[in-house]
Amino acid sequence: MTRLAVDWTRCDGHGLCARLLSESITLDEWGFPILTDAPVDEDAARTAVSVCPALALRIEHPARTA
Amino acid sequence: MTVTDPGTLPALFPATPPLLTLGEPRLLAAAPPAVPSRDRAWLVHAATDVRLLGRGGAAFPVARKLASVPLGARVLVNASEGEPASFKDRALMRHSPDLVVAGIRLVAAALGSGRPAVVAVEDEPSAQALAQAAGRAGAELDVRLTRHGFVGGEIGALVNGMEGRAPRPDGRRVLPTERGLAGRPTFASNVETFAQLALLSALGPAGYAAVGPAHEPGTSLTTVLGATPVNGVVEVPHGTALRDLVGHDDGPVLVGGYHGTWAVPTGARVSRVELRERAIGWGAGVLAVLPADTCPVAEVARVTDWLAEASARQCGPCVFGLRAVADDVQALAQARPVDLERLQARVGMVRGRGACHHPTGATGFVASALTVFAEDVARHRAGHHCGRADLGVLPTTHTTGGVR
Ligand code: SF4
Ligand code: SF4
């Protein structure tokens, strides 16, 4: 199971990720990505991470709570 | 209700609002009790017994936080009170600084903290009161005046600001219990939490639990404002009916503050746990009621604008989204046509999309206001301004005082 997460302090709304992963990432009216909760394909997720010019995407491992 | 004379202060700083207590004062008692020192295991057990919840917005179980830091951890007291509608932390520090200092010492000693505890505080009179209390107690305390505002009061932002970085939340949230002050594991909590721990040590779990319901004993400080029977900072036993504090529970009440919730809290009581079951957060402990002669839409619009401005300007959805939401609510206030569905979609869109809690808290405030004031909103939207002015009941100027 692979999930993507955005570091919102880095993302500047290039929208490349949405073009790459159009099934799981859309853009809001201001151009920032909307990630769905649905797990995404591992390889596609890795590509998105590597292509994000702002280094804002990461692959999320099961969240710790506290 | 007991009324305590808050005393007078230099004119530069906002005066302490009336201090009131329902029942026996504890936090606001005239003289602090003797606070025996305890080891960490005692504190963890006692805090578990009385189900003590942190007194910042998140209401995290104190026992778990105490247990999760290694011995030797640093101690950080969040006394920044960036919420403009809240005065309870400043009231506590100005009125009961000895109790606060006793609580800080208690925690620092129980954790074997090698360095003096750091207190981040914006209000100078509070800082002075704590420094003097520390002197009386012969305690070493590192009181630091901060000027970081609402979002800068988030623990991560606070640490960044105090260590010379921009006072903004980190992109990837790191728990202070893992990495806080100087990169060290840190027990960080709201200032009232420390005073509660002092009371817990002084009274013991059974004595502490003599007030309030078994599932959430004790008292809390709340700031009550607007069209309520009393205005001021009130120490209130848990389990008290909200009606007894604010005068009604069959009309709109703002609970929590500007990251809080507008609700018609029929039958609700002061209890973080019970309110959470109603999807209401106790937050900063603010309770506000608007009088009939102010325009609720305009009040909400002004606060929403303030919230948009308070964004730390890092995260796109927070910066642009909150601005768009605030402009929509402002248009509503002026009875200009607004696409209400789009506004509601925007509110839902911003929620949860930022590095800190701000977009979620702010949109919770707006969404609940749109629901609770639906009739006023509908009239404004249809172009019928209610004719009432914005009386400024909900404060949006920062009341910390001092020269900015
Ligand atoms: S590619 Fe990166 S910077 Fe661009 S929208 Fe996606 S996450 Fe944001
Ligand atoms: S979510 Fe908003 S307030 Fe929080 S860090 Fe990002 S821009 Fe700042």
Q: What is the pLDDT of residues B353-386, one digit of tens each?
A: 998 889 999 999 999 999 999 999 999 998 888 8
Does residue B180 belong to the interface with chain A, where contact is any CB pair within 8 Å? no
Percentage of chain B modeled with pLDDT above 70: 96
ipTM of the complex: 0.88
Hey, which residues 39-58 in chain A have their CB within 8 Å of chain B?
58
The tokens describing A23, both together, are 């099934």
- Residue B2's pLDDT is 55
Candidates B187, B320, B346: best to mutate against A (most CBs of A within 10 A) is B320
pLDDT of residue B403: 29
Phi, psi of B391 (to 5 degrees): -85, 0
C-beta of residue B288 within 8 angstroms of C-beta of residue B245? no
- Both tokens of B75, joined, read 């101690």
Shortest distance, CA B15 to any CA of chain A (angstroms): 37
Q: Are B316 and A13 in contact (CB under 8 A)?
A: yes
Q: Find the CB nearest A8 among B68, B316, B349.
A: B316
B215: part of which helix (H) or strand (E)? Answer: none
DSSP H or E stretch at residue B358: helix B358-372
Smallest CA-to-CA distance from B254 within B317, B326, B304 is with: B304
Count the neighbouring beta carbons within 10 Å of the beta carbon of residue B337.
11
Q: What is the pLDDT of residues B185-241, one digit of tens each?
A: 999 999 999 999 999 999 999 999 999 999 999 999 999 999 999 999 999 999 999
Q: Does B399 or A48 have the greater pLDDT score?
A: A48
Handedness of CA B207, B138, B130, B94 (dihedral sign): positive
Judge residue B227's burial from the number of C-beta atoms within 10 Å of its C-beta, 0-12 exposed, 13-18 middle, 19 or more buried. Answer: middle
Q: How confident is the model at residue A7 (pLDDT cuts 50, 70, 90)?
A: very high
Please say if the pLDDT value at position B274 is more than 90.
yes
Record: contact B321-A30, CB cut-off 8 A: yes
Contact B317 A7 (CB under 8 A): no
> Which helix (DSSP H) or strand (DSSP E) does residue A41 occupy?
none
Domain range enclosing A40: 3-60
User: Quick one: pLDDT band at residue B398, thresholds 50, 70, 90?
Assistant: low
Mean pLDDT of chain B: 91
User: What residue's CA is closest to ligand 2, atom 4?
Assistant: B356
Residues B91-97 have a mean pLDDT of 96
CATH number, domain of A33, equals 3.30.70.20
User: What pLDDT was estimated at residue B7?
Assistant: 58
| Best CA proximity match to B363, nearest among B376, B353, B372, B355 | B353
**Residue B189: its pLDDT value, please?**
94
Residue B4 banded pLDDT, cuts 50, 70, 90: low
Q: Which of A32, A57, A59 is the best substitution to test chain B (most B C-beta atoms within 10 A)? A: A32
Which residues, at least 6 apart from B164, have a Cβ–Cβ distance to it below 8 Å? Answer: none
- Chain A residues with CB under 8 Å of B185 CB are none
Please indicate whether, in this complex, the C-beta atoms of B314 and A28 are within 8 angstroms of each other.
no
Give the atom of ligand 1 at the shortest distance from the alpha carbon of A31.
5
Dist. CA B91–CA B11, nearest whole Å = 16
Indicate yes or no: CB of A30 within 8 angstroms of CB of B317: yes
Domains in chain B: boundaries: 2-208, 296-381
H or E segment at B351? none
| Interchain CB contact of A8 with B (< 8 Å) | yes
Whole-number CA gyration radius for chain A: 11
Q: Nearest 10 degrees: CA dihedral of B147, B150, B156, B158?
A: 20
Strand pairing of B219-226 and B286-289?
parallel
Give residue B88's pLDDT. Answer: 96
Contact B84, B395 (CB under 8 A): yes
More confident residue, B13 or B129: B129
User: Does B68 sit within 8 Å of A32, measured CB to CB?
Assistant: no
Task: Report if residue A48 sits inside a domain.
Answer: yes
Encoded tokens for B135: 């002197």
Of chain B, the percentage scoring pLDDT greater than 90 comes to 75
Nearest C-alpha neighbor of B127 from the set B150, B144, B102, B105: B144
Amino acid making up residue B255: V
Per-residue DSSP letters for B110-155? HTT-SSPEEEEES-HHHHHHHHHHHHHHT--EEEEE---TTGGGSH
A28 and B317 within 8 Å at the Cβ level: the answer is yes
Residue B15 has pLDDT above 80, yes or no: yes
DSSP string, B281-339: --TT-EEEE--TTS-HHHHHHHHHHHHHHHS-S--HIIIIIHHHHHHHHHHHHTT----
pLDDT of residue B353: 92
Strand duo B232-237 + B19-21: pairing:
parallel
How many angstroms separate the alpha carbon of residue B223 from the centre of ligand 2? 26
- Comparing alpha-carbon positions, the chain B residue that sits nearest to A5 is B172
**Alpha carbon A26 to its chain's center:** 10
Strands B286-289, B253-256: parallel, antiparallel or unpaired by DSSP?
antiparallel
CA–CA distance, B313 with B112 (Å, rounded to integer): 38
For residue B401, what pLDDT is reported? 33
Nearest-Cα distance to chain B for A63, in Å, is 11
Q: What is the average per-residue pLDDT within B15-37? A: 92
Q: How many domains does chain A have?
A: 1
What is the distance between the alpha carbons of residues B386 and B9, in angstroms, rounded to a whole number? Answer: 40
DSSP codes of every residue in B97-119: HHHHHHHHHHHHHHTT-SSPEEE
For residue B120, what pLDDT is reported? 93
Considering the domain boundaries, does residue A45 fall inside one? yes
Q: How far is the CA of B321 from the centre of ligand 2 (A)?
A: 11
| pLDDT above 70 for A62 | no
pLDDT at A43: 86
A19-43: pLDDT as tens digits:
888 888 899 999 999 987 777 888 8
A32 and B318 within 8 Å at the Cβ level: the answer is no
DSSP for B51-93?
A: T-B-SSTT--BHHHHHHHSPTT-EEEEEE----TT--HHHHHH
Q: What are phi and psi of B303, to 5 degrees?
A: -65, -40
Q: Is the pLDDT of residue B93 over 50?
A: yes
Q: Which residues line ligand 1 (CB under 6 A)?
A: A 6, 11-17, 33, 52, 54, 56-57
Of B68, B171, B324, the CB nearest to A9: B171
pLDDT value at residue B159? 85
Smallest CA–CA separation between B73 and chain A, in Å?
17
pLDDT digits (tens, 9 = 90+) for B276-305: 999 999 999 999 999 999 999 999 999 999
CA distance B349 to B353: 8
d(CA B77, CA B28): 19
Give the dihedral of Cα atoms B110, B112, B116, B120; nearest 10 deg. -50
Say how many Å lie between the CA of residue B318 and the centre of ligand 1.
15
Q: Which of B60, B171, B317 has its CB closest to that of A7?
A: B171
The pLDDT value given to residue B11? 53
What CATH number matches the domain at B296-381, 1.10.1370.30, 3.40.50.150, 3.40.50.300, 1.20.1440.230? 1.20.1440.230
pLDDT of residue A61: 67
The ligand 2 atom at the shortest distance from the C-alpha of residue B359 is: 1
- Which residue puts its alpha carbon closest to atom 6 of ligand 1? A17
- Structure token digits, residue B306: 């303030």
How far apart CA B162 and CA A13 sit, in angstroms, is 30
Class of the CATH-defined domain B2-208: alpha beta
Is it the case that residue B101 has pLDDT exceeding 50? yes
A63 — pLDDT class (breaks 50, 70, 90): low
Structure tokens of B81?
């009170």
Measured between CB atoms, does B348 come within 8 Å of chain A?
A: no
Q: Please tell me the distance in Å from B315's CA to the nearest CA on chain A.
A: 5
